[in-house]
């Protein structure tokens, strides 16, 4: 009869050995970090977590988020030992020891850092860029609470990693929303990559910080299975309460004196030294009286509790159309009717509220600008599905990743400019295949009065790159949308909600004339020809998105008086199918791309298409080439950056 | 005789009135936030700070960093009242009341948020995107200590703003480096933009958090000038010690009941209501017995202490060349000689160390990867000029902005991938004109084994946008450099140090063959033709940067065996002068852009040039179009993303 205590000690050493072997086999990786987690991983995966290795992503299963993703070999070792299901659909099969030893090889789903999209469903999100996991855990905890699932989300965080400010954004967020179903475990092994961690991240400071952030913080010996289990079981049941942080004091390279101290981070044991290291770990087993235990008895002593039953998700209905939604607010409807104009961001709020009514899976987050982005329309109607993220954009995005993994459709909004500080988090979401719905408001220079610190001018260059990356579903990894009126904004938000891959909507602040009927559809990859150029001769086509579509329409009117019939196109989506646009301009034509952002957006998209064609139109790009400043009106700032209607007209006439 | 106490109360109300008038004049802005800072700004600028309104940027002057940039009208009001010098060079003149009332107009340097590059030298850095100011203050404090200047850096932070994780990265950094010359002042007015701040950011929690982060934290009434002054003067002298945080309890919309409570953020008082608001503030003056004080007596009661004398900066010498630097490390020199190869990141460390020897203004920061980026070579040689930022990239970048403003040349390095989470901070540095030297290592897919969470693939798309923005000096706002060997890396790092605008160097991880002599120079905007294409006919030119330059050379060798003499170009710099490359390929030629990043980099740069020309070469872009994964060798991953030498050859032959 093996006690659970002895079984956990034996298993931890077995897993440690496997992790060391795997990294030696790979020729890279982080064996010493993995060894510091050997006992924590064992207690979680073999004793405390309620889950099923055959169905690692069962909705009712407890979850483990490995924020310090480089420690993943210890988790892979457990998954190989337990035969956890890997690979999707028909390819699904139990993970083997051979899979483990194929760590980091090009044909293997056992990647260098956690990534569910490669076929490793035990994980909910890609990690590896540090500081993001606790936010993902928060999103998973929020999703579980909405589904009344009494599961627990465990998150393993490195001590050096806890220097990332995002960790503290997540600590605040979890405390704010009383996500008592999230447990943060700090792995205090005292060593970073290049040195010992700062005293500011030692176990005493981490305990004080966690308490100051409103958490219960327990310090344990991270290599004492019983102490770890006791601490973890002190979490009060229920998903609504004060969160628990475990400060685990551990040893990097545990069990192997030759791997202790600085200088061993991310360094696999050479093949020549492997036997010695493994025998050191065998010695630890012998010293603890857990060497050569009977495998069957060991397995019996470590029975894993099954996941909780999970209700089916509630079905979604059909959201109402733009005019119906508008009609629900008679005052707004009247204003729109009389002015024939409305701000795209206002239409976003209206659309989000309609989605909320139709689909219980739709949730929203915003970073204390909900009255500007109009996410507040949703927040007021569905407060239980709205998560105020406060002024902390990185946590908001990673929390949205967790909500998406928790079977929700998360719309996360703030000024497009402020999403820039979360681009790492956006990319990690894309790497893991998270179905994110991002909304950036106040894009372009027409924000005017607040100045460049609030204007999204480089967001499109970064986001567009992912429009040309194919995700594991076969879709563009990110679809970028810049609507030019309220009706198209509303329609695109509806389309975002049902599209199975990530999207980014760029919502203009200003009131814009309404161009489209509510019946118009806006397929991703498409565009709208608002004016056709004169046939034959040297055609000219003005292409823009958002605010500048209206400037181009005015410019076309002015060109008409000069006898030039220019085409005008609303290029609302990236990626853009450019072929029809090249045909519209014709072989001798000229395309004028007009954009109130820095280069890297629409103009680059068109240039990449035009540059390939020998017999095709030429392209001229009008974009922003200086840092803007405050102006009291959009026209003031557009003139400052040389994008006034007059300058568009002059450019068009000039290239004619 | 007016006591300082009464004078400060009177002045605070005067400034508050001016701030309200200015935002009404602008028709936008944040009068209520400004009023919450009226007394804090007055005590700092009229009483505690040692500075000279005629020379607001004197090196020996105490500094004020307004992290909550939207509160700037109260600072502008003080600057107009004191006639602080604005505008550069010959245009320099004292700020007037008219300047203040021109707030946010297109022709005015009095922008919506602080921006020194527009001609407002009182500020050291652009702020407005929240959470960054304390890091800037840390950089200024570090620079002052290096110069043995006993000045103090004050930083005003909003309570809601303190939700940004970067604030806590900065709190750790300042405590780590014992920057006792930095004083953090939290403006606890209890209101954010869309709601009350979270309890997690109330004054009690902020005090507990600051103490847990190792600071002394004093709570004061933020509208009691004497209490504020007493607290500020409790900072122990010297620039090396435990930092002081002031938790100031304030009232948003102080003095004007009708502006209190939620719903007044960022809302100017309408012209119709201005008189009533101003008379409310006059009532406060009367109640406090400070109405209608004699202006001369008031000015006399508020004499500002002058700045400290500052030593001239020490002159820079000439750094040694690549081979000399290499020679100083005989073992490394021998390896390089025998293998004829060296990693660009290794050459970066060598170059940085040489710069450190030659120029006392050169400083370095790294985010706990200094043994990977090789910033450790500098850290070991010049520990007093190296600032370990730990795993906190946002703080590192904004601290570099502060160091640059403090007359240093800061090289900040980490994996290029991890800079993505600091793109907001990079852009704020660029907006303010900070002379940043950014270094991103491990760029491209050839990092291989660690996988996509560590590979910089979208960095170039974002950074390139700023290569096409002209900064206030007339330079590209950011020059992006991707060297293909160690000698060119060394040379480019030398050039970065003397170039007066921001640069971003992308350093490959892998050992690369050495292509260049140490005498070769690499002018920004230039390129190197390594192979000329065969004259006449349908020429083909392969263009790449970094690792893939070597793949293209191999591809050219293989094409030669097929009778195709392809050109090969090392396009190491963005912006790129493309005209010579178009000429090299000729009107009937083909340019093949080969890049191991997502789209938005070199290929877009070339496309924008090619797309304009009617009689010119065509362009084909080979880039990364799927999310990579781990592979055990660079070749494995290059093949996975279809960038093997064979595929380059096939593409080249195919378009021939």
Q: What pLDDT score was predicted for residue B314?
A: 85
What pLDDT, in 10s, does the model give residues B519-534?
999 999 999 999 999 9
Contact (CB<8Å) B128/A471? no
From the CA of B105, how many Å to the nearest CA of chain A? 5
Pick from B104, B465, B611: CB nearest A619: B611
Pick from B169, B454, B465: CB nearest A128: B454
ipTM: 0.98
Average pLDDT, stretch B598-624? 95
- A535 has a pLDDT exceeding 90: no
Average pLDDT, stretch A614-635? 96
Q: What pLDDT score was predicted for residue B423?
A: 98
Length of chain A in terms of residues written: 656
Average pLDDT, stretch A172-183? 98
Q: 10 Å Cβ neighbour count for A258?
A: 12
Which of A185-194, A234-243, A634-643, B152-161 bottoms out in mean pLDDT, i.e. has the lowest?
A: A234-243
Which chain A residues contact residue B126 at CB under 8 A?
Answer: 452-453
Residue linked to tokens 């990141």 = B345
Which of A354-363, A495-504, A609-618, B75-84 bottoms out in mean pLDDT, i.e. has the lowest?
A: A609-618
DSSP notation for A420-455: GGGHHHHHHHHHTT---EEEEESBSGGGGGG-GGG-
- B537 has a pLDDT exceeding 80: no
Global pTM reads: 0.98
Q: 3-state DSSP call for residue A562?
A: coil
From the CA of A313, how many Å to the nearest CA of chain B? 30
The closest alpha carbon to B606, from A81, A591, A611, belongs to A611
Q: Is the peptide bond before B575 cis (omega within 30 degrees of 0)?
A: yes
d(CA A602, CA A609): 11
Give yes or no for a contact between B242 and B264, defined as CB atoms under 8 angstroms apart: no
Q: What's the CA dihedral at A133, A139, A143, A148 to 10 degrees?
A: 70
Report chain A's C-alpha Rg in angstroms: 28
- B379 has a pLDDT exceeding 90: yes
Which tokens hold the place of A310? 């999970």
Tell me which residues of chain B, numbers 143 to 162, contact chain A at a CB-CB cutoff of 8 Å.
160-161
Give yes or no for a contact between A469 and A497, defined as CB atoms under 8 angstroms apart: no
DSSP strands (E only) in B311-432:
341-342, 362-366, 386-388, 409-415
Residue A509 exposed, middle or buried by CB count within 10 Å (0-12, 13-18, 19+): buried
Tell me which residues of chain B, numbers 435 to 454, contact chain A at a CB-CB cutoff of 8 Å.
449-454
Beta-strand pair A182-188/A153-158: parallel
From the CA of B176, how many Å to the nearest CA of chain A? 7
d(CA A558, CA A536): 20
d(CA B86, CA B92): 6
From its phi and psi, is residue A525 left (phi > 0), alpha (psi between -120 and 50) or beta?
Answer: left
What pLDDT, in 10s, does the model give residues A23-76?
999 999 999 999 999 999 999 999 999 999 999 999 999 999 999 999 999 999
Contact (CB<8Å) B165/A169? yes
DSSP notation for A345-407: HHHHHHHHHHHHHH-TTEEEEESS-HHHHSTHHHHHH-GGGEEE--S-HHHHHHHHHHHHHTT
Which chain B residues contact residue A391 at CB under 8 A?
Answer: 130-131, 160-161, 163-164, 192
Report chain B's C-alpha Rg in angstroms: 28
What pLDDT, in 10s, does the model give residues B411-464?
999 999 999 999 999 999 999 999 999 999 999 999 999 999 999 999 999 999
Q: Is the peptide bond before A533 cis (omega within 30 degrees of 0)?
A: no
Give yes or no for a contact between B210 and B245, defined as CB atoms under 8 angstroms apart: yes
| Those residues with Cβ within 8 angstroms of residue B549's Cβ, 6 or more apart along the chain or in another chain | B484, B515, B530, B568, B570
| Those residues with Cβ within 8 angstroms of residue A359's Cβ, 6 or more apart along the chain or in another chain | A316, A317, A319, A409, A497
Which chain B residues contact residue A462 at CB under 8 A?
Answer: 423, 458, 461-462, 600
Q: What pLDDT score was predicted for residue B656?
A: 66
Which chain B residues contact residue A271 at CB under 8 A?
Answer: none
Helices (H) and strands (E) in chain B, counts: 26, 21
pLDDT above 90 coverage of chain A, percent = 97
From its phi and psi, is residue B537 left (phi > 0), alpha (psi between -120 and 50) or beta?
Answer: left
- A401 has a pLDDT exceeding 90: yes
Contact (CB<8Å) A376/B169? no
Residue linked to tokens 């002052």 = B144
Q: What is the mean pLDDT of chain B?
A: 97
Query: What is the 3 state secondary structure string of B589-648?
Result: CEEEEECCCCCCCHHHHHHHHHCCCCCCCEEEEECCCECCCCCCCHHHHHHHCCCCHHHH
Query: What is the distance in angstroms between the CA of the first residue and the CA of the last residue of chain B?
Result: 89
DSSP notation for B280-335: HHHHHHHHTT-TT--HHHHHHHTPPPPPPP-PPPPPP-PPP-HHHHHHTSHHHHHH
Q: What pLDDT score was predicted for residue A275?
A: 98
Contact (CB<8Å) A106/B637? yes
Q: 10 Å Cβ neighbour count for B227?
A: 18
Contact (CB<8Å) B636/A106? yes
Average pLDDT, stretch B607-620? 93
CA distances A299 to A81, A136, A224, Å, are 10, 31, 19
- B175 has a pLDDT exceeding 80: yes
Average pLDDT, stretch B351-361? 98
Average pLDDT, stretch A114-142? 98
Q: What pLDDT score was predicted for residue B236?
A: 87
Average pLDDT, stretch A586-591? 94
What pLDDT, in 10s, does the model give residues B227-247?
999 999 999 888 899 999 999
Q: What pLDDT score was predicted for residue A622?
A: 98
pLDDT band at A1 (very low <50, low <70, confident <90, very high): confident
pLDDT band at A656 (very low <50, low <70, confident <90, very high): low
Which tokens hold the place of A36? 């510091």
Q: What pLDDT score was predicted for residue B254?
A: 98
Residue linked to tokens 């020429």 = B539
Contact (CB<8Å) B128/A175? no
Q: Which residue of A has its CA nearest to B170?
A: A165
Which chain A residues contact residue B102 at CB under 8 A?
Answer: none
Q: Which residue of B has its CA nearest to A597?
A: B465
Phi/psi of residue A135, nearest 5 degrees: -70, -40
């Amino acid at each position: 009869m093996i006690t659970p205590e002895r079984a956990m000690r034996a298993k931890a050493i077995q897993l440690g050995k496997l992790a060391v072997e795997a990294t030696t086999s790979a020729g890279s990786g982080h064996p010493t970090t993995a060894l510091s987690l050997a006992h924590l991983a064992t207690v979680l995966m073999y004793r405390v977590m309620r889950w099923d290795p055959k169905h690692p992503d069962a909705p009712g299963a407890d979850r483990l988020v490995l924020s310090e993703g480089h420690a993943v070999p210890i988790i892979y070792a457990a998954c190989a030992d337990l035969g956890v299901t890997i690979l999707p659909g028909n390819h699904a099969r139990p993970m083997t020891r051979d899979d483990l030893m194929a760590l980091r090889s090009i044909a293997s789903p056992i990647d260098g850092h956690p990534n569910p999209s490669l076929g490793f469903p035990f994980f909910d999100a890609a990690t590896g860029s540090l500081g993001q996991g606790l936010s993902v855990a928060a999103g998973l905890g929020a999703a579980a609470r909405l589904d009344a699932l009494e599961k627990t989300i465990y998150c393993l965080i490195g001590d050096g990693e806890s220097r990332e400010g995002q960790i503290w954004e997540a600590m605040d967020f979890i405390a704010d929303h009383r996500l008592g179903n999230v447990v943060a475990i700090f792995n205090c092994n005292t060593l970073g990559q290049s040195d010992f961690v700062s005293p500011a991240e030692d176990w005493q400071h981490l305990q004080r910080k966690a308490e100051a952030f409103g958490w219960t913080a327990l310090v344990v010996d991270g290599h004492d299975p019983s102490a770890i289990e006791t601490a973890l079981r002190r979490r009060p049941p229920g998903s609504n309460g004060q969160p628990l942080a475990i400060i685990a004091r551990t040893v990097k390279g545990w069990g192997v004196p030759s791997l202790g101290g600085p200088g061993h981070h991310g360094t696999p044991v050479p093949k020549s030294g492997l036997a010695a290291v493994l025998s050191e770990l065998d010695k630890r087993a012998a010293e603890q009286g857990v060497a050569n235990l009977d495998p069957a008895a060991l397995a019996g002593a470590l029975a894993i509790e099954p996941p909780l039953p999970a209700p089916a998700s509630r079905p979604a209905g059909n959201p109402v159309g733009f005019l119906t939604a508008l009609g629900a607010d008679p005052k707004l409807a009247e204003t729109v009717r009389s002015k024939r104009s409305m701000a795209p961001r206002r239409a976003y709020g209206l659309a989000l509220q309609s989605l909320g009514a139709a689909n219980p899976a739709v949730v929203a987050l915003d970073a204390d600008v909900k009255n500007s982005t109009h996410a507040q329309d949703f927040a007021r109607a569905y407060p239980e599905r709205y998560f105020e993220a406060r002024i902390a954009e990185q946590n908001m995005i990673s929390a949205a990743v967790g909500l998406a993994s928790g079977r929700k459709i998360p719309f996360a909004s703030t000024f497009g400019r402020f999403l820039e500080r979360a681009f790492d988090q956006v990319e990690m979401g894309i790497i893991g295949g998270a179905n994110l719905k991002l909304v950036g408001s106040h894009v372009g220079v027409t924000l005017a009065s607040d100045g460049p610190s609030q204007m999204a001018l480089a967001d499109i260059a970064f986001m567009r790159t992912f429009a040309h990356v194919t995700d594991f579903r076969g879709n563009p990894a990110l679809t970028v949308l810049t609507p030019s009126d309220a009706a198209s904004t509303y329609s695109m938000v509806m389309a975002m909600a049902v599209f199975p891959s990530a999207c980014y909507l760029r919502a203009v602040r200003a009131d814009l004339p309404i161009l489209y009927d509510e019946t118009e559809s806006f397929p991703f990859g498409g565009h709208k020809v608002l004016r056709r150029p004169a046939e034959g001769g040297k055609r000219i086509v003005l292409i823009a998105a958002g605010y500048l579509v209206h400037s181009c329409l005015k410019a076309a009117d002015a060109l008409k008086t000069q006898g030039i019939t220019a085409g005008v196109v609303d290029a609302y989506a990236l990626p853009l199918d450019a072929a029809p646009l090249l045909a519209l301009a014709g072989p001798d034509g000229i395309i004028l791309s007009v954009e109130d952002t820095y280069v890297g957006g629409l103009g680059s998209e068109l240039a990449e298409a035009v540059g390939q064609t020998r017999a095709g139109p030429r392209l001229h790009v009008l974009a922003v080439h200086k840092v803007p400043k405050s102006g009291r009106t959009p026209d003031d700032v557009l003139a400052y950056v040389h994008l006034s209607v007059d300058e568009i007209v002059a450019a068009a006439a000039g290239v004619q």
